[in-house]
Amino acid sequence: MTMLQFSETCEAIAGTTKKLEKISIAGAYLRAAPVEEAAIAALYFSGSPFPAYVETTLQLGGSILWKLIAELSGKSEAELSQIYKKHGDAGAVAGEALPGRTASGLRLTSVQQTFSEIAAARGPTPKASLLRALLEQSTALEAKYIVKIVSGDLRIGLKESLVEDAIAKAFEAPLDQIKRANMLLGDIAETLRLAAAAKLKEARLRLFHPIDFMLASPIDSAEEALSYFENASVEDKYDGIRAQAHVGGGEVRIFSRTRDEISQSFPELLPALASLPSDAILDGEIVAWDFAKSSSAQPSEGEANNALVTGRAMPFSKLQQRLGRKKVSEILLRSVPVVFLVFDVIYAREELLIGRPLRERAEILDSVLRELALAPRREIVSRLTAQSVFSFSGGGDGKAAEDSNGGAGHVRVHRAPTAIARSHEDLERSFLAARSRGNEGLMIKDQDSPYTPGRRGKSWLKMKRELATLDVVVTAVEYGHGKRIGVLSDYTFAIWDGDTLVNIGKAYSGLTDVEIAEMTKWFLAHKTKDLGLRLEVEPKIVLEVAFNNMMISERHESGFALRFPRIVRLRPDKMAEDADTIERVKEIYASEHGG
Ligand code: AMP
């Protein structure tokens, strides 16, 4: 198949808003293409030049692309900006600005070959000249899609889950097997090859690429919690960041909920995890921890418990200082120590455990962590230098003794304590105990439930103190007044109604000046429409907002409005897809207004 056919197919997919039509056009293309080219197309349809599990990246930033398009088109900066304003993405600019060459029969396999060469090339200049040579043999339409793939966003309304649907259609394979293979492999291209060969069942887990996290649904009362299931296991809800640790052959990698690798931000956790006796994937929360405080994290008297964690969680604002850093200073390691509180296991002892009920996973997790406690400390074979891991020499109180858990001075990897709740009184007691330990509330989990990656079901429930907060996506911003003049401080935000974001409110306060300054920069770089004092922006920033109550209102598209909305915090750990939905808004409204 040629790059031109691929690009024309993309245009056709972009040309319809109907999901089923998109799937059927993509499916027909994948069926018609030779398997190897269909596999490449599946990657490109998902907006990526390489499979998720490989670490290869092109590292061709926006400014290089921009320069190349300017050179090849001979257009001025002002002319290109004009075109950019119309489309808002570099690929579309390339499509419109580049000269109309005749098709050279460029094949997907050659495009892929060039992408591999670009990834292997060192430095921006050789990378740019490889891409330049590729664009020089492309028609304007091909160039449009090559640039879109390079910049990682096709913008034809096709996300990876729809590509899975298209593969199912193309090869008449069961969708659940395709989803499972793609989850295990982290590779939509290989998934397609297996589907084409009717070998989906042979997919085996590949370590070191993040598996989607199981998510929780909010509940408003203890009674509501027990209406979903009987055998409830409860844990404190820690206010930290969700993390998935992959361990194999002494190598450790930790992934965040946004699928980014965050191992380097938490060097003190790595030696402990590397000591695990067998390969494993653990799910838990990284929490800033005060080892000196006396209150312990285990559930209160009378509740079952399987670990003793001394100290208590520090607020999320502390942990925030540790986020997004490539290198963590000694000072920060000491002032904001962290622990990894593990509450689930996805893979261990060569078995994928997601199909097993929580009660069995919990037992396996206990025994894996028990072995960890006994295991001799192991060196870690990681891309992280030994120095960045072992130069750390003290915990919260400056003690430097080493222990088998791998941390220097303190035990860093713990089983999150669990208890059983039989009645709503049990839950309320646990809730208050969790709050008194400085934690956000409770997680209530169905002991009979499997681990469902990426799904927010009713098997895990979260109970927080506030009546409710909403996670919302910023869609538009405005310049502030008074001391906020010149910065974008007023945010209009939205929630999901199906696939569409609908506005529900606007908030002015809650962020610090530093945060507002940083957000202003981001919004200016990601505006999609400039309306003078108001900018529409790419819907990527997630905020947690609190409010006093909720009203039916014509003012916003959602049909609801919030009374006294305020920003609780930025949620850089969440993606736009993770924001709340209109269903959730209706639930809150109903619970506030007596059903
Ligand atoms: P939220 O971020 O409000 O949607 O709440 C869900 C998040 O709570 C999860 O993604 C975890 O990061 C976090 N969390 C804290 N403690 C636990 C726990 N014991 N079990 C599961 N998730 C937890």
Lowest mean pLDDT among 84-88, 119-123, 269-273: 84-88
pLDDT per residue as tens digits for the range 341-350:
999 999 999 9
pLDDT at 396 over 50: no
- Residue 185 shares a structural domain with residue 295: no
- Residue 245 shares a structural domain with residue 198: no
- Residue 515 shares a structural domain with residue 411: no
| Lookup: tokens for 154 | 């096709």
Q: How many CB atoms lie within 10 A of CB 249?
A: 9
pLDDT per residue as tens digits for the range 519-558:
999 999 999 999 888 999 999 999 999 886 788 888 899 9
Lowest mean pLDDT among 250-259, 327-336, 375-384: 375-384
Residue at 232 is within a domain: no
What confidence tier does 435 reach under pLDDT thresholds 50, 70, 90? Answer: confident
The answer to whether 265 and 240 have CB atoms below 8 angstroms apart is no
* Per-residue confidence (pLDDT) for residue 486, from 0 to 100: 82
Residue 473 is part of a domain; what is its CATH number?
Answer: 2.40.50.140
- Residue 184 shares a structural domain with residue 266: no
Please state, in angstroms and rounded to a whole number, the distance separating the CA atoms of residues 294 and 310: 7
Atom of ligand 1 nearest to the CA of 236: 19
- Residue 112 shares a structural domain with residue 256: no
Mean pLDDT of 385-392: 28
Span from the CA of 23 to the centroid of ligand 1 (angstroms):
33
Please state, in angstroms and rounded to a whole number, the distance separating the CA atoms of residues 449 and 426: 21
DSSP at 512: -
Residue nearest to atom 23 of ligand 1 (CA): 237
pLDDT per residue as tens digits for the range 310-336:
889 998 878 988 988 888 999 999 999
Say what the pTM is.
0.73
- Residue 271 shares a structural domain with residue 405: yes
Q: Is the CB of 369 under 6 A from ligand 1?
A: no
Residue at 422 is within a domain: no
Atom of ligand 1 nearest to the CA of 460: 21
pLDDT at 378 over 50: yes
Question: Where does a domain end: 181, 202, 223?
Answer: 202
> To the nearest whole percent, how much of the chain has pLDDT over 70?
90
* Per-residue confidence (pLDDT) for residue 280, from 0 to 100: 96
pLDDT per residue as tens digits for the range 444-476:
999 999 999 988 899 999 988 665 789 999 999
Span from the CA of 59 to the centroid of ligand 1 (angstroms):
33
Q: Is the CB of 443 under 6 A from ligand 1?
A: yes
Residue nearest to atom 8 of ligand 1 (CA): 237
Residue 339 is part of a domain; what is its CATH number?
Answer: 3.30.470.30
- Residue 358 shares a structural domain with residue 503: no
What confidence tier does 300 reach under pLDDT thresholds 50, 70, 90? Answer: very low
- Residue 175 shares a structural domain with residue 307: no
pLDDT per residue as tens digits for the range 349-365:
999 999 999 999 999 99
Domain count, the chain: 3
Question: Where does a domain end: 375, 398, 417?
Answer: 417
Q: Is the CB of 289 under 6 A from ligand 1?
A: no
Counting beta carbons within 10 angstroms of the beta carbon of residue 467, is it exposed (0 to 12), middle (13 to 18) or buried (19 or more)? Answer: middle
Residue nearest to atom 3 of ligand 1 (CA): 462
Which residues are tagged catalytic? 237
pLDDT at 593 over 70: no
Mean pLDDT of 394-410: 39
* Per-residue confidence (pLDDT) for residue 36, from 0 to 100: 97
Span from the CA of 512 to the centroid of ligand 1 (angstroms):
25
Residue at 102 is within a domain: yes
Q: Is the CB of 560 under 6 A from ligand 1?
A: no
| Lookup: tokens for 391 | 């130069």
- Residue 34 shares a structural domain with residue 142: yes
Q: How far, CA to CA in Å, does 196 sit from each of 44, 178, 574?
A: 18, 11, 35
- Residue 158 shares a structural domain with residue 22: yes
Containing structural domain, residue 144: 3-202
Residue at 451 is within a domain: no
Span from the CA of 468 to the centroid of ligand 1 (angstroms):
15
Counting beta carbons within 10 angstroms of the beta carbon of residue 531, is it exposed (0 to 12), middle (13 to 18) or buried (19 or more)? Answer: exposed
Residue at 244 is within a domain: yes
Q: Is the CB of 237 under 6 A from ligand 1?
A: yes
pLDDT at 484 over 80: no
Query: Between residues 398 and 583, which one has the greater pLDDT?
Result: 583
Lowest mean pLDDT among 105-119, 371-385, 393-407: 393-407
Residue at 228 is within a domain: no
pLDDT per residue as tens digits for the range 145-178:
999 999 988 999 999 999 999 999 999 999 999 9
The answer to whether 51 and 188 have CB atoms below 8 angstroms apart is yes
From first CA to last CA, the distance across the chain in angstroms is: 56
Identify which of 234, 237, 588 to mutate to test ligand 1's pocket (most ligand atoms within 8 A of the CB).
237
Mean pLDDT of 95-112: 93
* Per-residue confidence (pLDDT) for residue 404, from 0 to 100: 38
| Bridge partner residues of 474 (DSSP) | 493
3-state secondary structure 408-464: ECCCCEEECCCEEECCHHHHHHHHHHHHHCCCCEEEEEECCCCCCCCCEEEEEEEEE
pLDDT at 366 over 80: yes
- Residue 189 shares a structural domain with residue 252: no
Residue at 424 is within a domain: no
Atom of ligand 1 nearest to the CA of 213: 10
- The torsion angles phi and psi of 551, rounded to 5 degrees, stand at -130, 155
- The torsion angles phi and psi of 248, rounded to 5 degrees, stand at -165, 130
Residue at 234 is within a domain: no
- Residue 370 shares a structural domain with residue 506: no
Span from the CA of 460 to the centroid of ligand 1 (angstroms):
9
Q: Is the CB of 216 under 6 A from ligand 1?
A: yes
Q: Is the CB of 462 under 6 A from ligand 1?
A: yes
Locate all alpha helices (DSSP H) within 486-580, ordered by sequence: 513-525
- The torsion angles phi and psi of 183, rounded to 5 degrees, stand at -65, -45
Please state, in angstroms and rounded to a whole number, the distance separating the CA atoms of residues 134 and 92: 17
Mean pLDDT of 570-579: 94
Q: Which residues contact 92 (CB under 8 A, 6 or more apart)?
A: 83, 86, 144, 148, 155
What confidence tier does 511 reach under pLDDT thresholds 50, 70, 90? Answer: confident
- The torsion angles phi and psi of 28, rounded to 5 degrees, stand at -65, -40
Q: Which residues contact 433 (CB under 8 A, 6 or more apart)?
A: 299, 300
Residue nearest to atom 17 of ligand 1 (CA): 237
Span from the CA of 238 to the centroid of ligand 1 (angstroms):
7
* Per-residue confidence (pLDDT) for residue 388, from 0 to 100: 29
